[in-house]
Amino acid sequence: MALMFDGQVDDRHFEITDTSGNPVDVREVVCPILKLMNETTWDFIGTGFFIAENGIFATARHVLLDALDKESNQPHSLFIIQWLPDGKHILRDVQYIVLHSTMDVAVGSVWPRIHAQTGEPLLTKQLIMTADQPSIGEVIFTYAYPRTIVHHDPQPRIFLYPGYYPGKLEEYYPYGPDRVKLPFPCFRTSIWLHGGASGGPVVDSRGRVFAINSASFGGAPDISFVSRVIDILGLTFPAVSIGDSSPAPMLIFELARRGYLSFRPPLSHRFLNLSAPIFDA
C-alpha cells in the first residue's frame, strides 16, 4: 500500500498541546482509520485520536459500526495510520473496539509494538480532554481526514488530505436535538463537517478535546453536531494491564482516575453517573 500525504495546512491559529503543555504535531495524535476488506482492498472509514500512550484511541460509534456486520461481529481487520516524530508512518493493527450502546462515541486500542531502533515499547502521544463545557459562541475547531481517497488500480494507494476546520459552539442539547437521529446529549456547532471527519476531536479555545465529530446537517455547511467526549468514561475496556498484573476489564473512568488518560481539570466521581446529562441545560 502506497500512502500519499498532503498536510500543508496553515495551523498558526490552532493549538493542541500534550500533557506537559507543549505543542503537539497533530498528525501524531489524530489518525485515519482504515478497514482491510481483503489482501489488497482498503476502505477509509473515519478519523480517530489517541487518548493514552499505550495506544487507546477514541472515535465516533458510527465509524466503528462500519466495521461490524449485522450480528455485531467484526469480519474485517482495522488499522490506524500513526505518524512518528521523524515523519515516517506505520500501520497499527487495531486490537479491541468498544462501542457505546446509545451515545455516538467509542474507544479502541492498537496492538503493542516495539520501536525498531530503541527496542522499547512504541508509545503514542495523547490529547488532553476536558469535562468543561465551552461557552456558547466560543471558537472551536477539529482536525480530521475528511477528504481521504482510496485507489486500488493498479495498486492500493491512499491519498490523505487532513485539515483544520474551525467554527463556533452554537448550542448544547442535554437531551439531544431530536429523539430519532440524535437522541443523546450533544453540541451544535458551525464547523463544516465533511464526510470522513467523523470521529475526529473537537478542541476548545484552550487546546482541550471536549467533543467528538458526530454528524452534519443535510446540505447546511454551517450546522453540525458533536458528541461529548466524557461519554467514553462509562465504557469498559476489555483488557488492561497495569504494571505486572494480568490483563483485566477496566472502566475508562478508572483509567482516567489513575492518570493513564489526561483530563483538565481532573475528573471527580460525579462522572460515574453517566446515565444523566452532566452539564446544566
Handedness of CA 200, 98, 178, 138 (dihedral sign): negative
203 part of a folded domain: yes
Least confident piece of the model among 42-46, 100-104, 231-235, 241-245: 241-245
161 part of a folded domain: yes
73 part of a folded domain: no
pLDDT at position 8, please?
47
Q: What is the CATH number of the domain that holds 166?
A: 2.40.10.10
How many other C-beta atoms are found inside a 10 Å radius of the C-beta of residue 265? 9
Task: Indicate the helix (H) or strand (E) that contains 98.
Answer: strand 89-99
- In this structure, the strands spanning 2-5 and 157-160 are parallel
Per DSSP, the three-state class of 230 is helix
124 part of a folded domain: no
Buried b (16+ CB within 10 A) or exposed e, 59-93: bbbbbbebbeeeeeeeebebbbbbbeeeeebeebe
**Could you give the number of structural domains in the chain?**
1
Q: pLDDT tens digit string along 138-184?
A: 999 999 998 788 877 777 788 888 889 999 999 999 999 888 888 99
- pTM exceeding 0.75: yes
**Domain, as residue range, for 173:** 139-230
162 part of a folded domain: yes
83 part of a folded domain: no
**Chain centroid offset of residue 27 CA:** 12
Q: pLDDT tens digit string along 170-228?
A: 999 999 988 888 899 999 999 998 888 999 999 999 899 999 999 887 667 789 999 99
* Confidence check: pLDDT of 277 > 50: no
CA-nearest of 174, 177, 187, 235 to 214 is 187
**Chain centroid offset of residue 228 CA:** 12
126 part of a folded domain: no
120 part of a folded domain: no
Residue 117 is which amino acid?
Q
